[in-house]
Amino acid sequence: MPDALNILLNPVGSAGDVHPLIGIGGALKARGHKVTVLVNAYFKPLVEKMGLGYVEQGTLEQFETILHHPDAWHPRKALGVIFGNMVRAIVPMCVEQLKALVTPGNTVICGSSLAMGTRVAQDLLGTPTVTVHLAPSLFRSMYKAPKMGGVWMPDGMPHFLKAAFWWFADWAVVDPAICPPLNEYRRTLGLAPVKRPMNGWWNSPSCVLAMFPKWFAEPQPDWPSQVHQLSFPRFDERELHEPDSELETFLAAGDKPLVFTPGSAMLQGEKFFAAAADACRRLNRRGILLTRFKEQLPTDLPPNVRHFDYVPLSYVLPRAAAMVYHGGIGTCSQALAAGIAHLIMPMAHDQHDNAARVEKMGVGASLEPKHFTGALLAARLESLLTNRDLPGRAWEIARKFEQEKPIEEACELIEQAAKGVSLNSLVAGNPAGACQSKRNGDECQGDHQWLKHFGVGHR
C-alpha cells in the first residue's frame, strides 16, 4: 500500500464528465488516500455520498445557466458557450483553490478534459497533474482523425490537409473561445500566453489517461507519448441507490423495454421524448424515459411507457432491448457492456465520433436530430431489433469487459504520477501515444517541418 497522498480531483462538465472521476476518487479513498473533489454545487450530494472531501467550484445557478443556453448542444457553437463561461468564471477560482489545497511533495491533481484550471495550476505551481480524457475524439491525429460535428477526414486524406483543418478549427473556433480570457488571466500570474490550447497544452505533460479501450479506438502513432490507454470507467452510482420497486415491477411485467435518454444535462429534449413515445406506440413496445427534467416529457405518455428521474444504467440496460441516446461516451460504454443495440442521436461534442464507432462495430445506428421523428425512429429501431447478426456481435463486445480493471489501473497511475515515477512500466506494452517510429530512432511524420508549420507534432 503506497503512502497516503493528497489527491485533488477537478471534474468539469455534465454528469458524463464528472461521474468517472468521482468513481476513481472513491477507489483512491479506499486505497487510503485523502481525496478532495473540486466541482460544481450540482454534484455536492454525490460527492458527500461517496465520503469524499468537497470544495464548491461554481454555483448551481451557473451550472443551470449553461444547461439552459440554446447553443449548449449546437455542433459548432457549443464550444464557445462552454469554454467562454468556464474559462472566465471557473479557471481563476480553480487556481486559487488549488493553491490553498496543495501540499508540496504529497499532492497530485487530476483534472478532466475541461479542467483547464488544473493545467494553469500545474504551470504555476509545478504540482504533478494527470489529465483524464474520456472519449477518443479528444485526441487529434494525422492518421485516423475523429469525426467532429459531421466533419469527416478520410484516413487517406493527406496529412498536410488534416493539419490545415486542425489549424483552421483552432483559428476560427477554438482559440477565440478560449485564448482571450485564458491568457488574460495567465498574464496576471506572470505566465506566458498559450496558443492553440487544444492542440496539446491542455494535456498534462507528465500523464494523460485515455479512459476507453483499444478495441473501441486504436491508439494513433502521433498521440502524445504520455498517454496511457485503459478502458471505460463505467461508474454510475449503482452502489449508492436502493432498488426502485416501481422500476422492478415494470421490468418484470413484460418484454424487455426500450430505454431513452438525451443525456443528463439536456434541457431541450422535448422533441426527443415526443419521438420516443411515438416510436413506442408505433412499435407497440414498452419504454423507459430517463430525465430529471420532467417538463420535457409529453403529457400523454402511452400506458406502456414510464418515466424515471434516474436509474443506474448498469442495472437497467442488461434487461433492456435497446438504448436510444445522444451518443455520450458514458452511456455508450454502459450499452456496450450490456450487449444491446444502440440508436444514437448525435448533437455535439464527442457524440458524432462515438456514433461512428458504434456503427462500425455493427451494434447500432444513428439518426440526426433533424430526422429524429417517431416514424423514422420506429423504422430504424425495427431494423436494429430484427437484425439477426447484431446480438452475436453485441455479446462478443460485452465479453471484452470481463477482464478489464480500468479504475484500479487509473489509481495506480495517479499514485505513481504523484511521486514522479516513470509511468511507462505500469501499463502492459508501450504507452498508447508513443510514436512507433520515434521509438526506433527514426523521425516521426508528426515532426515533419510541413506539419510543424501548422503547430502539429511532438511536444
Contact 112, 22 (CB under 8 A): no
CA end-to-end span of the chain: 34
CATH number at 361 reads 3.40.50.2000
Is the same domain home to 187 and 268?
Answer: no
Q: Are 36 and 44 in contact (CB under 8 A)?
A: no
Same domain, 305 and 337: yes
Burial class (CB in 10 A: 0-12, 13-18, 19+), 192: exposed
CA 381, chain centre distance (Å): 25
Residues in the chain: 459
Residues of the chain with pLDDT under 50: 1, 421-459
355 and 297 within one domain: yes
Q: Do 153 and 230 belong to one domain?
A: yes
Containing domain of residue 366, as a range? 243-399
DSSP element (H, E) containing 394: helix 390-399
Specify if 195 maps to a domain: yes
Same-domain pairing of 170 and 265: no
Residue at which a domain ends, from 399, 415, 435: 399
Backbone angles phi, psi at 61, to 5 degrees: -65, -40
pLDDT at res. 77: 60
pLDDT value at position 309?
Answer: 87
222 and 247 assigned to the same domain: no
Residue 260 lies in a domain: yes
Query: Do 301 and 287 form a contact (C-beta atoms < 8 A)?
Result: no
Domain end (from 399, 417, 439): 399
pTM of the predicted protein model: 0.86
Do residue 62 and residue 205 come from a single domain? yes
Same domain, 264 and 180: no
Within a domain: 428: yes
Measured on CA atoms in the order 102, 107, 108, 112, is the torsion positive or negative? Answer: negative
- Number of compact structural domains in the chain: 2
Q: Are residues 348 and 322 in the same domain?
A: yes
pLDDT for residue 151: 74
Among residues 97, 84, 335, the alpha carbon closest in space to that of 111 is found at: 97
Of 382, 399, 416, the one marking the end of a domain is 399
Same domain, 265 and 291: yes
169-to-87, 139, 197, 280, 447 alpha-carbon distances in Å: 19, 14, 12, 40, 20
Strand-pair partners of 130: 110, 207
**Co-location of 287 and 224 in the same domain:** no
